[in-house]
Chain A
Amino acid sequence: MSEQTYQSISDAICHITLHRRFGPYWRAALLIAAALTLLLACGVVWLLHKGVGIWGLNVPVAWAFAIANYVWWIGIGMGGTFISGALYLARKDWRNSINRYAEAMTVFAVSVSGIFPVLHLGRPWFFYWLFPYPDVMNVWPQWRSSLEWDFFAILAYLTVSILYWYVGMLPDLATLRDRAPTLGKARFYGLLALGWRGAATQWQRFETVSLLLAGLAVPLVFSVHSMVALDFSEAVLPGWHSTLFPPFFVAGALFSGFAMVLVLGIPMRRALGLQQYITARHLENLAKVLLAAGLVVDYSYASEIFTAYYGMDPYEVAVTTHRMLGPHAWIFWGTIFCNVLSIQLLWSARLRRNHAVLFAVALLVLIGMWLERFMLIVTTLYQDFTPSSWGMFYPTFWDLAFLAGSLGLFFLLFLLFVRLLPVVSMFELRKLVPRASGEPP
């Protein structure tokens, strides 16, 4: 970073957005993501036409893929908010080069996750009944239900994430506007920049807003994941009815969020030549947080299993045993492999600094976290209190299509983000320059 100047940073980042030719790999990736998004769109149309029965849901397993996808995606979203918000508040400046794309990841992940709770409804077109609006029947939502609170938590989280991301991008959008080679691009970025001129009063307000939004976003991260957890804890079901869930879900969200930051960051910095900005140190820091979060998650697993057997509630014991030994045992052991065993590699500094290994571990963590969500939902539901009603869950084509389609949509948005918006926060990087080069701030 020592040789960087304000000029060089702006040049390099603006070049990516304004001048760089995005080659066949980007196009191919975009095509695949677009195709998967189209699959999702077809799925949505079919779902609205036929009903949620196109998925493999049944009684007793009335929630499965869609809710697993939802929890997974919203957990991934957490990584970005944590990096940009919590590290901002803690004045960890090293975050400045990764927060932009991490925030973008948050916005896209939360948007994608938000699709599922709505489509998962039997009658999605009435989702707004969860909203406390004054209707003629004087019917209010049912405030004891965690789903109700979850609805607000997602809405609030999505709103703040988008605001935080967009507001934080304004100075950079103005920079792009000023450097735009064509009138069209200038208009595009000019419109997005909302008249940012870089005046001192604007900067002052900008900093205040950023601080406020960061202050808002960080508690929201905890509230939203605690609420997601309460969607399960509130139930009487063995395997769900646990006070451990809220912290467990927050840790899990952090875990998967950081994994996704790594999975996106490692190829992106290579493809866009951002090694100078997203450095090996960044990745190593992320790896350490990943390991730390992972250990908390692992502790939760151990604690859950211990509590079940120590508490000797026959239903808890049965669910825990079925998880480990039942027909879905491979999911449990897959989770253990991905979320417990694989991250132990990160204790080694050598492996942690090997980006291929780091990428692989992060990818495994993402897979493991999805499996964990699935396990948590399905293996609780499929064998609960009454053995006569025990069932199985078998996914249909559309279950898989919605999972793949959600990935497609997420990557489509992210690829467009990489192409159209500054992937690294220029103005925040510039803040690092004076200190590095000894210039006055």
Chain B
Amino acid sequence: MSPLMPSLPFDLEAARAHLAAARGPVFWRSLEELADNAGFVHWLRQQQPQLAQALSLDRRGFLQFMAASLALAGLSACGHPPQDQIVPYVQAPEGQIDGLPRFFATTLMREGYARGVLVENRMGRPTKIEGNPLHPASLGATDIFAQAAVLQLWDPDRSQTLMNRGVTSTWDAFAAAVVQATERHARDGGARLRILTGAITSPTLSAQLGAVLEKFPGATWHVHEPLGNANAHAGARLALGVPLATRLRLDRAKTILSLDADFLSDPAAGVRYARDYAATRAPESNQGTPSRLYVVESTPSLTGGMADHRLALEAARIERFARLLARELGINLEVSGAEDAQHQRWLNAVLTELKANRGASLIVVGASQPAWVHALGHLLNDALGNVGTTIEYTDPVERNAAQAGTLSELVGAMQAGRVDTLWILDPNPVYDAPASLRFDEGLTHVPHVIHLGLYRDETGMRAEWHLPMAHQLESWSDARAYDGTASIAQPLIAPLYDGRSAAEVLAMVLGQTPQGRVLVRKQWQDQLPDESSWNAALQQGLIPNTSLPPRTAMVSTAFLTQIKPPPPAAAALELLFRADPTIGDGSWANNGWLQELPKPMTQLTWDNAALVSPALAAQHQLNNGDVIELRLAERVVQAPVWIMPGQAARSVTLHLGYGRRQAGRIGDGRGVDAYRLRTPANPWVESGLQIRRTGARAELASTQHHFNLEGRDLLRVGTWEEYRSNPHFATATDPYPGTPPSLYANRPPGEYAWGMSIDLNACIGCKACTIACQSENNIPVVGKDQVQRGREMHWIRVDRYYEGDAANPRAYSQPVPCMMCEHAPCEVVCPVEATVHDAEGLNLQVYNRCVGTRFCSNNCPYKVRRFNFLQYADDTTDTLKAQRNPEVSVRRRGVMEKCTYCIQRIQTAHIEADKQDRRIRDGEVLTACQAACPTQAIRFGDLSDAGSAVAQAKASKRDYVMLGELNTRPRTSYLARLRNPNPLLGEDPT
């Protein structure tokens, strides 16, 4: 009883009377209340008026009151379903089942190209992205950018409001400004109106843009795509007369020659190409001869890492190599310089094979090569009979950029004062235009700049109007894939911050209602006339029969006369510009997952660096982290050095995308801005580079410091010849063949025996698995300083090893998740049973029980355990919480964590199977890494089912386990990599 309460005599008689008078059960809270003492009620009313009121509330009133409160609370809850109808895929299309995720097919764009995805939606929150098996650019897999898109959606640094000259504004105010602007442009036919966009494949956006340009005939559309492949377009125009799109059919190729083309990381089709390429190399399913990949490149790439023979040449010498090749194939081209015997041998071997495989060979030319080399590629492919088999031409997928002005023309117009209003729909030219253009200076001559962007970035800060753009997962849109297949992007959530899409903003200019769904629906009215076809297109994630058919093209030789004679061989250094492997052109700079994802070839995180060859480093006495000055004419930046095995001797690579100034809290001020050295004329390579040591040092955060296997057989490689003569070559050298005996008894077999097989022959090292795992399992981002301390948290890492001469080594990659040892060393040493084995063979980590001795990590021979040394999980940022997978615990500091084989997915399948009283089917459980893998290198399933895909993979003669001699009996095993060297060149990698 409260001390404040007066001592009231308890009236027993009154209480008895009160109870006797009542009907039904009477509930009382205190004896005083029971006695219905007037003094008590009076006291209560005085002391606690709200309680006294509650006293008088009857059950009905109370329930009404509670219902109203709950309804009000519900109104204010986060996330509301989009008002437009969207159609679920795969699971429970009839309706939401609480707690179960629903999957929606939609489209993500990268450099304008569509990649079909399925988005996991949990109670209205998009949480995870998977590939769409029906979509030609995905086939069920994704790349790292698709995985990271969901974090971008929830990024707290995204632009949240309209800004008008730095002051918060509204769409209504902007609509008024648009009216004024259209009036201005109506007067002169839009002569002073410019629209700047990225590459457009979206039919809806293209139509909207077309309508605007029709309404204002004087207006000009400009395209700025910092990673655009202008050389390839120009090359196609040179050779084919029209800028046709090129589509590789790697599945049909026997001999592939890449001239600096990293087709496995192609933004539009890399995922598909990787699958096609891997299929030609699978020894179990492909009994014929495997394909052979020759790569000539300046800076190591994923494609170069997969090459059977790789030649490291500077970009200028690749051009020369192309001339030699053309000459050998009967095209008369001038070639300067002395012959290099080794290169000649290489060239001869390639030529022999290209000719032998007429119609099944393929020459691919990369973006760094000038247009005429691209044209030459078309010519040679045509001469080798490859057109129509391994290479196909289609009508352009992008909105015809030939009709568009370039960025340079736009800057010229701006500086001449000929631009009144500039609409910048998504690009960020203030940051990523070549600095020599001086775009930001030109911007000062434009009275009205309207910027639509996901972030209020460098350009947004300079704009009169900044408009928040709706994320791809928030808006209606459509796009075409690399092969032309159109698909619709449907929103998975209502815009978090009142953003609009580019098509909606253009609708405002046209005076239409800015409703994305209406615009997209109208665009596809002809192809999808009724609701059922529309719904089917949404469900499947693509519009049927929109793939562009291959078309014939006449390859002209006219351009050969225009090829300039080769420049004299210069000893100068060249600087290569490349898209950053993890943050692309810089638009992903504020994405923690991508920043912390080790870049496949260097294992660097959070920074870019000037990649130099070991020879150049020796010449200038450079070590990793030494800051050098890079000078191209009057343009100078300083960048730390990273010594890159396999880099062409005289090439220095600097990745684009870093040095952001207005990216957000994650991306600001990291790394070096390569755009400051770029020119519009030579966007990919520029010679005449001068470097100078500054004496300064910079700290770089790499997740791997040792790239030499030290003669250990952790990663096993053989050639196809070896494999054919001894299919068991991978286990031939095992020190203790078979399973060594153990003092511990074998565990009784459980209902299932989960296991994993990783095919090193298929793995290209793209790291989609790492980031898919991060997305699925709520793995925190720890930051650069923690990575430097060796505390990254990735549950599946991709190790990179080099073999042979550092000037041009063979590169191997090896994904390493938890091995799920049957005799796990970690389990024996835990004093509190926080890591235990389950009946199905999973090595479990019980976070709640973990006290954090870290002995398990020490004792793990594979070092796959990760420890929360500090509080890494961000438990303060609300939007990041919304991204998390509710089926996976968020780990707090002081506990160990590691790969679980996605146990939450196994359990989901268990529940489903139990409900239907059946066993879990093979393929029903896909781990996150497995689902994302472009080449299907990872297989997972039940080992006790001999017919399962994983059991069959493990039955392969290439199957081996890592460190089997320790008798850990891993459930994760590897399939040895097979190289296919040309016998003419032998083991020589170059």
Contact = CB atoms under 8 A, between A and B. Distances in A.
Interface of A: 50-54, 56-63, 120-123, 126-127, 129-130, 139-142, 144-148, 151, 231, 234-237, 314, 318, 381, 383-392, 394
B790 A122 contact: no
Given A56-B789, A59-B866, A384-B863, A237 B858 contact: yes
Given A142-B832, A145-B831, A51 B851 contact: no
B894 A123 contact: yes
Contacts of B801: 387-388
Interface in B886-902: 893-896
B790 A130 contact: no
Given A122-B896, A388-B816, A139 B849 contact: yes
B187 interface: no
Contacts of B786: 53
A384 B710 CA distance: 11
A63 B869 CA distance: 12
B863 A60 contact: yes
B791 A122 contact: no
Interface in B833-874: 833, 849-855, 857-859, 861-863, 865-871
Contacts of B865: 59
Given A60-B858, A126-B851, A139 B790 contact: no
A44 to B, nearest CB: 15
A62 B858 contact: yes
B711 A314 contact: yes
Contacts of A59: 790-791, 857, 863, 865-867
B857 A388 contact: no
B311 interface: no
B829 A145 contact: yes
Given A59-B863, A121-B852, A140-B833, A145 B828 contact: yes
B859 A130 contact: no
Given A145-B831, A386-B816, A121 B894 contact: yes
B706 interface: yes
A interface: dominant SS? loop
21 contacts: A50-B870, A53-B870, A57-B854, A59-B857, A59-B866, A59-B867, A122-B896, A123-B851, A130-B851, A142-B827, A142-B831, A142-B833, A144-B829, A148-B831, A235-B829, A236-B861, A385-B963, A386-B714, A386-B862, A388-B816, A389-B704
A388 B797 contact: yes
B851 A387 contact: no
A82 B857 CA distance: 35
B564 interface: no
Nearest to B790: A58
Interface of B: 704-712, 714, 786, 789-791, 797, 799-801, 814, 816, 825, 827-833, 849-855, 857-859, 861-863, 865-871, 893-896, 963, 966, 968
Nearest to B866: A59
B831 A235 contact: no
B712 A147 contact: no
A394 B790 CA distance: 10
B712 A387 contact: yes
B712 A62 contact: no
Contacts of A123: 850-852, 893-895
Contacts of B799: 386, 388
B670 to A, nearest CB: 22
- Most B C-beta atoms less than 10 A away, residue of A53, A127, A139, A234: A53
A59 to B, nearest CB: 6
Contacts of A388: 704, 706-707, 797, 799-801, 814, 816
Contact of B870 (A51, A144, A236, A314): A51
A2 B554 CA distance: 119
Given A384-B863, A390-B706, 10 more contacts: A50-B870, A58-B869, A59-B790, A123-B851, A123-B893, A142-B832, A314-B712, A384-B861, A386-B799, A388-B814
A389 B866 CA distance: 12
Contacts of B706: 383, 387-388, 390
Nearest to A391: B790
A150 to B, nearest CB: 8
Given A62-B858, A237-B858, A129 B832 contact: yes
Contacts of B963: 385
A146 B853 CA distance: 12
B705 A122 contact: no
A52 B832 contact: no
Contacts of A50: 870-871
A308 to B, nearest CB: 16
A313 B499 CA distance: 63
Contacts of A384: 861, 863
A394 B785 CA distance: 13
Contacts of A145: 828-831, 855
Nearest to B799: A388
A122 B833 contact: no
4 closest A-B pairs (Cβ-Cβ)?
Answer: A122-B852, A122-B894, A53-B869, A58-B790
A96 B163 CA distance: 85
- Most A C-beta atoms less than 10 A away, residue of B705, B861, B871, B896: B861
B831 A234 contact: no
A138 to B, nearest CB: 11
Contacts of B851: 121-123, 126-127, 129-130
Contacts of B866: 59
Contact of A51 (B714, B859, B871): B871
B828 A122 contact: no
B714 A122 contact: no
A318 B710 CA distance: 9
- Most A C-beta atoms less than 10 A away, residue of B827, B855, B963: B855
Nearest to B863: A389
